Amino acid sequence: MKALTHTCYMTVRHLRNLARQPLYVMFTIVQPVIWLVLFGQLFKNVVRIPGFGAHAYVDFLTPGVVIMTVLFGSGWSGLGIIRDLDLGVMDRFLVSPVSRLALVTGRLAQLSIVAVIQSVLIIILGVLLGARIPGGITGVLALIGCAVLLALPIGSLSCGMALVTRKEETVIGAANFILLPLTFLSSVFMPPNLLPTWLLDLARFNPVEWAVEAARAALDAHADWTVILPHVALLVAFAVVTAGLATRAFRAYQRSV
């Protein structure tokens, strides 16, 4: 109970601090627009490649951009922890009766809320650009669910990394090093049947691929639950494991003070 109310307090704090950075908020909105419009135009003709499967590239690209945007947003979330560590805010909370769990779950809750808002905005934009969503409202909800299920583990990893290294540069470096390859080692921009076999083999271990595959399957007119459920299960398992890692990182930080 205390963990829940304290998580709410922390979530409000993080959302408020975020809203006070209008430039940052603008970038998080503008960036997916650029992805969607730019890549949509750039790769417009790839749908003509035999075997692509979608009618228009924007149909295919919209869920991809949702996943990618949420991936990047959550990958940077550790920077907030570093800020709290540097400011001494973390230590102030640790000598108060605040729920320890809330110090991480508050951040993950904020990430999830931001992920939902971003997803909705991108889907609306995609539809405006002509994307069709045969899966309807269920498909959209499943897509948003997949986005959140990706945000949680990536956010946990980023926070864990921040607690262990305590250096802004390291978190930025690691995010840069990992996030882009994760995006390109998946079917965010290209359908799996057009990807080289070696890449597909790697993609099987890629959480971004799990999210994208599940989301696209849910958006189909006839949602294939045999594709969706295993991928969702993998994402949930990944979230559980990374939450455990984040908790350990948190304990390690407490021991080192």
* Of 65, 206, 225, the residue nearest 129 (C-alpha): 65
Choices 31-39, 84-92, 198-206, 217-225 (CB under 8 A): range interacting with other proteins: 84-92
Choosing from 4, 16, 205, 225, the residue that interacts with other proteins (CB under 8 A) is 16
What's the CA gap between 71 and 61, in Å, rounded? 15
Least distance to other proteins, CB of residue 222, Å: 47
Binding residue (CB under 8 A) for other proteins from 42, 91, 177, 224: 91
Specify the DSSP class assigned to residue 192: G
Site string for other proteins, 19-58 (x = CB under 8 A): -xx-------------------------------------
Pick the piece of the chain touching other proteins (CB under 8 A) from 15-23, 113-121, 207-215, 234-242.
15-23
For other proteins, give the closer residue by CB, 110 or 119.
110
Q: Determine if 101 is a binding residue for other proteins (CB under 8 A).
A: no
In terms of Cβ atoms closer than 10 Å to its own Cβ (0-12, 13-18, 19+), residue 96 is: exposed
**13 binds other proteins, rule: CB under 8 A:** yes
Query: Should residue 197 be labelled a site residue for other proteins when binding is judged by CB under 8 A?
Result: no
CA distances from 8 to 96, 107, 181, 205 (A): 17, 10, 34, 33
Q: Which of 13, 15, 61, 53 is nearest to 35 (CA)?
A: 61
H helix or E strand, kind and range, residue 79 = helix 78-87
